[in-house]
Amino acid sequence: MAELEQESIGPDFWDDQQAAQRKMQEMNSLQEQVRVWDTLLRRAGDAQELQLMAEDDPGLLTELETEAKALEDEIAKREFELALSGKYDSGSAIFSIHAGAGGTEAQDWAQMLLRMYLRWAERRGFKTEITDLTQGEEAGVKSVTVQVNGPFAYGFLRSEKGTHRLVRISPFDSSSRRHTSFAKVEVIPVIDQDIEIEINPNEIRMDVFLSSGAGGQNVQKNATAVRLYHEPTGIVITCQNERSQTQNRETALKILRGKLYEIEQEKLDAERSRMKGENVAADFGTQIRSYVLHPYQMVKDLRTDVETGNPQSVLDGELDLFMEAWLKQQVGE
């Protein structure tokens, strides 16, 4: 932080505006981390003084116990965040949900997952923006992409990559039969201009088209929606929720950059597994969690065996139990 502060007062610091802004963001993030730990240190010192005072005034013991517990919980939380040590763990994230086979059932399940993650982000004070959405024919969504901005958003959300399975009595089945639905969640980090993720403009083909609207005055008259084709990998990115073609293109490039990073990480993970002799699947399309609403109530993570008998709280965004268990497991490994 001190090095960045010194660099920021240099006469040529703002010659490269984009680089300067990235460094200022990094410096602000570091300053916030230091502020948090300085505050905890000060509170611990105040608690020690309170302990001395409580020796003469036992009435202060309750206040001391309350503060000691609060400090313990806060420090445990901050130490856990320090365990999120991946290169992009501390930054923002982009997640996508894709309905699996099953038509309306799966599309409604994708909509339920979208609500769950938006609720989770709201609980943590994160800002969310839907950058692309394809509605289902009758209900729900076929696919949706959301950017989540906030500290450690990617670090936490990367635990959600994989296939999520729902078992319930179908609200769309007149015979009230039990159905199983699947939806896939993909998560990538938000990577701004980064020299390690190079994209050759000659390898990208761009199409523009009219954004889908709600009808009437909301229908776009200009072709602002963007679809990018990355020819070497076959990746297709669509973005249509920004107001201008330029904004949509920038958002699509940001998503592409994140997907290319994920591909490189998968290659590294596969190579590590091969060298260690482990039989570990290197894709994120495997089933990770089961949500059962009938004949019993349970949500179980198949990777950590963590489960709860209150699926409604999970669907309302209480995901930290599962996220933290998986992240602790990764740290342990």
What is the pLDDT at residue 211? 72
What are the pLDDT digits (tens) for 174-183? 787 889 999 9
The contacts found for 295-298 with CB under 8 angstroms, 24 or more apart, are 295/178
Q: Which residues of the chain have pLDDT under 50?
A: 194-195, 214-220, 276, 278-284
What pTM value is reported for the model?
Answer: 0.68
What are the pLDDT digits (tens) for 140-192? 999 999 999 998 999 999 999 999 999 999 888 878 788 999 999 999 988 76
Per-domain residue ranges of the chain: 2-82, 93-194+281-332, 201-275
Closest to 113 in 3D by CA, of 72, 77, 146, 78: 146
The answer to whether the beta carbons of residues 102 and 181 sit under 8 Å apart is: yes
List phi, psi (to 5°) of 113. -65, -40
What is the pLDDT at residue 209? 83
Q: Which two tokens stand for residue 11?
A: 């006469």
CATH of 93-194+281-332, one of 3.30.450.40, 3.30.70.1660, 3.40.190.10, 1.10.1670.40: 3.30.70.1660
Distances (CA, A) of 126 to 21, 122, 156, 241, 281: 21, 6, 12, 19, 31
Cis amide leading into 295 (omega within 30):
yes
What is the pLDDT at residue 273? 61
Q: What is the helix (H) or strand (E) element at residue 304, kind and residue range?
A: none
The domain 201-275 having CATH identifier 3.30.160.20: the answer here is yes
